[in-house]
Homo-oligomer: A and B are copies of this chain.
Amino acid sequence: MTVTHPKGFRASGVAAGLKASGNPDVALVVNDGPDYTAAGVFTGNRVKAAPVLWSQQVLKGGIVRAVILNSGGANACTGSQGFRDTHATAEHTATVLRGGANRMMIGAGDVAVCSTGLIGELLPMDKLLPGVNAAAKALDADGGAKAAEAIMTTDTVAKNAVAQRDGWSVGGIAKGAGMLAPALATMLVVITTDASADNEVLDAALRAATRVTFDRIDADGCMSTNDTVLLLASGASNRQPSLEELTAAVTEVCHDLAQQLIADAEGATKHIAIEVQGAASEADAVQVGRTVAGNNLVKTAFFGNDPNWGRILAAIGTTSAAFEPDRIDVAINGVWICKGGAAAEDRSKVDLSGRDVSVTINLREGEMSATIWTTDLSHAYVHENSAYSS
């Protein structure tokens, strides 16, 4: 149920001492082919970590044979030394994989690098490089779950997912806690498939999938310095699904992982789905959903089990979406407490005692809709993010 479910992949996760806890902190995923096509989606943040800059270059080459990942340090805002360290990590990974039992045909330019953890500090290369050796030795056709464990930071559970199709499959691992954006917690995702697909098809499938999954959790899924989503194809199933079939399977895995990320968000007590209906455009629906999801007063109200539709309307009012204030309807957990921009059903009918909350906003302007997933803003969120220097 992870990146090693599709044929043609091995993975591992080992403890290299980057994390003070001694927990696993270096992960490796390798593609044993016969294909080595790949696609990547990276953070929209203009302050990009060294591994993001490196991996963007690797993707331009069109081949990814290995992904080396570490937690315990983001290697972001580390200047030219940080980039040299990322380069050295890729070189070392390629060297190690060319030798030993692996005997892979691989150069540094085929190795993507992902890092997560503290910003602004150099990685302890004297620990990381031996960790790469250990990870290469530990590579296993069942090693995906161990890789998922090794990329955890403040995550409380490892995230794995699979979409099984007839004769081929898609698998994935992810990490990323924090309240995601606007909290800038890093999201790292590696997705694998044993389908055969060229780079253009993989790129189209991955972009279509992330647009409606990772990009719709909280305000913006792509705003850490290190966010990276990679899709690797081995072709080992000897199947070539259509773009639509591949997109559907990749989207299924991305949706599953995105929901796991939201469910594990730092200190959250609510898992909130904000569905915007009746929008004049999908862009309007997404903008309204993100704005409501990102509003601290809305988030704190849900933490307090308060069905505060007035704060939702006030948040909608800050957007540029097409709407008239006196036409908006809002339901919380199915109770239409606001109709035509004013109070409707009694707020006491809204039961907010559970963890899952659904907010439905009808702008009554058109036919388009979108759903954004988010969390509440809790004491535990403040505690975790004021105590953890990341």
Contacts and interface: CB of A to CB of B under 8 A. Distances in A.
Contact of A309 (B44, B120, B178): B120
Contact of A182 (B44, B296, B303, B343): B296
Contact of A77 (B220, B224, B338, B383): B338
A119 B347 CA distance: 13
Interface stretch (A33-41, A88-96, A242-250, A314-322): A314-322
Given A77-B310, A317-B46, A120 B338 contact: yes
Contacts of A45: 314, 317-318
B297 A343 contact: no
Contacts of A323: 46
A17 interface: no
A118 interface: yes
A79 B326 contact: yes
A84 interface: no
A21 interface: no
A156 interface: no
Interface residues of A, number: 63
A313 B182 contact: no
Nearest to A383: B379
Stoichiometry, copies per complex: 2
Contacts of A121: 343
A389 interface: yes
A341 interface: yes
Interface in A58-81: 74, 76-79
A300 interface: yes
- A178, A323, A342 — which one has the most chain B CB atoms within 10 A of its CB? A342
Given A297-B385, A342-B78, A119 B182 contact: no
A314 B119 contact: yes
Nearest to A304: B386
Contacts of A78: 342-343
Contacts of A378: 382
A310 B182 contact: no
A304 B121 CA distance: 19
A318 B45 CA distance: 5
Given A314-B224, A315-B184, A386 B79 contact: no
7 contacts: A47-B313, A47-B316, A76-B310, A78-B343, A178-B297, A306-B386, A310-B390
Given A45-B314, A184-B314, 4 more contacts: A74-B310, A120-B310, A297-B385, A310-B390
Interface of A: 44-48, 74, 76-79, 82, 118-121, 178-179, 182-184, 220, 223-225, 294-297, 300-301, 303-304, 306, 308-311, 313-319, 323, 325-326, 338, 340-343, 377-379, 381-383, 385-387, 389-390
